[in-house]
Amino acid sequence: MLRNARHSKILELIQSKEIETQEELCAELAACNFAVTQATVSRDIKELHLFKVKGERKRFRYTSISVSESGISEKMRSLFQACVEGIRPVQNLIVIKTMNGNGGNAGVVVDKLGYREVVGTISGDDTVLIICETPAEAHTVCGKLEAIIKG
């Protein structure tokens, strides 16, 4: 019960404030009477699939992804459009190059899309590797991802 309440409060805080670091999030939670350690906040961030985007007042801020039944949310689409620098099919693979530090964010978007052609993804700092069974499937997925970027 405490974990669910804490998760709800974290989502509320990152919606209303620009929180850039785990330490800031710990302090905000403490101000709301949630006694947490940095390790707990780190686990919460992973469980809630939080990621960082460019802030308005701060360099970066935490945010979350919500998925609608019709596909990806506008927030996910914007994130993907902003961080992807290039998409290239290579045989049955797709290599996505992103801005530094955004490979994981782009990988989350690809995973949330749930394309049946995608067997798996691997994300690094500035690269996402998408694995498909056939080159034709890779080209299909590549086209879908490029359409997201074009809007």
Other C-beta atoms closer than 10 Å to the C-beta of 93 total 15
Give the span between the Cα atoms of 11 and 21, in whole angstroms.
Answer: 14
Q: What percent of the chain has pLDDT over 70?
A: 94
- Local confidence band at 66 (pLDDT 50, 70, 90 cut-offs): low
- Residue 114 per-residue DSSP state: T
- Local confidence band at 65 (pLDDT 50, 70, 90 cut-offs): low
Tell me the one-letter amino acid at 103: G
**102 pLDDT more than 70:** yes
Alpha-carbon dihedral angle through residues 99, 59, 42, 111, given to the nearest 10 degrees? -30
**107 pLDDT more than 70:** yes
- What's the pLDDT score for residue 1? 57
In the chain the domains, ranked by start, together with CATH numbers, are 2-63 (1.10.10.10), 70-150 (3.30.1360.40)
**70 pLDDT more than 90:** no
Cut 0.85: pTM above it:
no
- What's the pLDDT score for residue 91? 96
Q: Which residues contact 96 (CB under 8 A, 6 or more apart)?
A: 84, 86, 87, 88, 103, 106, 110, 127, 128, 129, 130, 145
Report the run of H or E that residue 83 belongs to, with start and end: helix 74-83
